[in-house]
Amino acid sequence: MLSEVQAHLPISHPWRERIHFFQCVPSTNDLAKELARKDAPEGTVILADRQTGGRGRLGRSFHSPSGMGIYMSVILRPKCQPSELMHLTCATAQAMCDAVERAASIRPGIKWINDLVWQKKKLGGILTELILTPAGDLDSAVVGIGINCSQAAEDFPPELRPIATSLLLASGRKTDRTTLCAAMIDALYSMSETLLTGREVMLERYRRDCVTIGQDVILLRGNSSVEAYAAGVDDTGGLILRFPSGETETVQSGEVSVRGMFGYI
Ligand code: BTN
């Protein structure tokens, strides 16, 4: 797998020799964070065929069976404060839309803030984690991406079947996982180059791909759920909500999740 991914990248690609492949790990994000704490360089890529403890946002799990998905985490070391990285998950989602389009010829939508979707079902997700120094400065960031590639409907556990899809189901044909991995690595490299300078352009593109904007949604926060209209995404990646009372509020990804009125999207 490793040499095939490398073969799809130019010899001169700055991250080509920083890719590590594992048959099975608990979570590629956990391993990437461990390596980041040991000073692994920017562009260190952890890839696994299978995860036993794949994690999603808000403590959810990410189903990660062998041979069917891509489970990847990358270490980034942007020179900025943590507060300047509010848009990192959006930038990663945007880069992943580009990569999927390049490798699988379909462009997913984005369900705010971190889910890649196709026709109201989840194709993949992104988990961004920051590592801070004891003084609270940014040490590094880990972006983790999971994409369902070759699952047939019955390969998903029954509880995921109504809400999950794969590139195979979405596009009707097989996508080579190593081609997609290389496209993801290259898209993440490009993203890292413009992360601090290209935020506005990236967010304009994110808004075009985001299927949440313009929808009536249910905002889930702690034990409460309220209806709102998703009016837009602000210039940090926050979701601008308008409530039936006419009041508006911008919510950040750490605190809430959003559901469609009639299902997952
Ligand atoms: C979500 O659904 O909220 C995000 C899912 C992110 C899953 C990926 S798979 C690779 C990396 N390792 C993890 O444990 N999670 C991310």
- Tell me if 116 sits within 8 A of 147, measured CB to CB: yes
Instruction: Tell me the best of 55, 60, 73, 184 to mutate to test the pocket of ligand 1, counting ligand atoms within 8 Å of each CB and taking the most.
Output: 55
What are the pLDDT digits (tens) for 155-169? 999 999 999 999 999
Residues 6+ positions from 163 with CB-CB distance below 8 Å: 121, 122, 263, 264
Question: Contact 191/42 with Cβ under 8 angstroms?
Answer: no
Name the residue of 27, 47, 62 whose CB sits within 8 Å of the most ligand 1 atoms, as the mutation to test its pocket.
62
Mean pLDDT of 117-141: 97
CA-proximal residue: ligand 1, atom 7 (nearest)? 146
Instruction: Tell me the C-alpha distance between 179 and 8, whole Å.
Output: 6
Question: With a 6 A CB cut-off, is 144 part of the ligand 1 pocket?
Answer: yes
Ligand 1 lined by 57 (C-beta under 6 Å):
yes
At 230-249, the pLDDT tens digits run: 999 999 999 999 999 999 99
User: Tell me: the pLDDT tens digits for 38-49?
Assistant: 999 999 999 999
pTM of the model: 0.96
Would you tell me the crossing angle of helices 199-209 and 177-194 to the nearest 10 degrees? 140
In this prediction, residue 262 carries a pLDDT of 59
Q: Which atom of ligand 1 is nearest to the CA of 69?
A: 9
For residue 229, what are the β-bridge partners?
216, 242
pLDDT classification of 255: cutoffs 50, 70, 90: low
Contacts of 55 (CB under 8 A, 6+ apart): 27, 29, 30, 61, 62, 127, 144
pLDDT of residue 134: 97
pLDDT tens digits along 7-65? 999 999 999 999 999 999 999 999 999 999 999 999 999 999 999 999 999 889 999 99
- Report the SS3 class of residue 259: strand
Task: Report whether 246 contacts 203 (CB < 8 A).
Answer: no
Query: Residue 236's pLDDT is what?
Result: 95
Q: What distance in angstroms lies between residue 146's CA and the mean position of ligand 1's atoms?
A: 5
